[in-house]
Amino acid sequence: MVSVGDTYFIGRLGTAPLAGLALVFPLIMLLQMTSAGAMGGGVSSAIARALGAGHADRARRLVVHALVIAAGMAGAFTILILLLGPGIYGLLGGRDETLDHAVRYSNIVFAGAITVWMANTLSSVLRGILAQRLIRRICENCAVESYLNPDQIAALGLKVPVERRDSLRVRSGEGCVSCRYTGLFGRTGVFEMLDVGRRIRALINDGKDANEIHHAGRIEGMEPLRDAAVRKLADGVTTFEEIIRVTADSE
Q: Phi and psi for 154 in degrees, rounded to 5?
A: -65, -40
Q: Which pLDDT band holds residue 158 (cuts at 50, 70, 90)?
A: confident
Residues 111, 134: one domain? Answer: no
Residues 42, 31: one domain? Answer: yes
Residues 132, 116: one domain? Answer: no
- Residue-number span of the structural domain to which 222 is assigned: 128-250
Q: In the predicted model, is pLDDT for residue 82 greater than 50? A: yes
Q: Which of these three, 90, 125, 160, is where a domain ends?
A: 125
Note whether 105 and 21 are within 8 A (CB): yes
pLDDT above 90 coverage of the chain, percent:
18
CATH code for the domain of 168? 3.40.50.300
In sequence order, which residues have a C-beta less than 8 Å from that of residue 102 and are 6 or more positions away?
19, 20, 21, 23, 24, 85, 89, 94
236-245: per-residue pLDDT in tens? 999 999 999 9
What is the rounded CA–CA span in Å between residue 162 and residue 182? 32
221-236: per-residue pLDDT in tens? 888 888 999 999 999 9
172-221: per-residue pLDDT in tens? 999 999 999 999 999 999 988 887 777 887 787 777 788 888 888 888 88
Q: Phi and psi for 147 in degrees, rounded to 5?
A: -130, 145
130-151: per-residue pLDDT in tens? 788 899 999 999 999 988 888 8
Q: SS3 sequence, 79-111? A: HHHHHHHHHHHHHCCCCHHHHHHHHHHHHHHHH
Distances (CA, A) of 89 to 74, 93, 98, 101, 173: 20, 7, 9, 10, 74
4-21: per-residue pLDDT in tens? 666 667 767 778 888 888
> HSE (CB half, 13 Å, CA atoms) of 48?
13
Residues 136, 226: one domain? Answer: yes
Residues 112, 147: one domain? Answer: no
Query: Mean pLDDT, the chain, as a whole number?
Result: 83
Q: Phi and psi for 125 in degrees, rounded to 5?
A: -65, -35
Residues 118, 164: one domain? Answer: no
Q: Phi and psi for 150 in degrees, rounded to 5?
A: -55, -35
Single pTM value for the model:
0.54
Look at the chain and report how many structural domains it folds into: 2
In sequence order, which residues have a C-beta less than 8 Å from that of residue 173 and are 6 or more positions away?
138, 139, 142, 143, 144, 179, 182, 183, 184, 185, 239
Quote the pLDDT of residue 54.
Answer: 73
Quote the pLDDT of residue 16.
Answer: 83
Q: In the predicted model, is pLDDT for residue 2 greater than 60? A: no
Residues 75, 105: one domain? Answer: yes
Q: In the predicted model, is pLDDT for residue 1 greater than 70? A: no
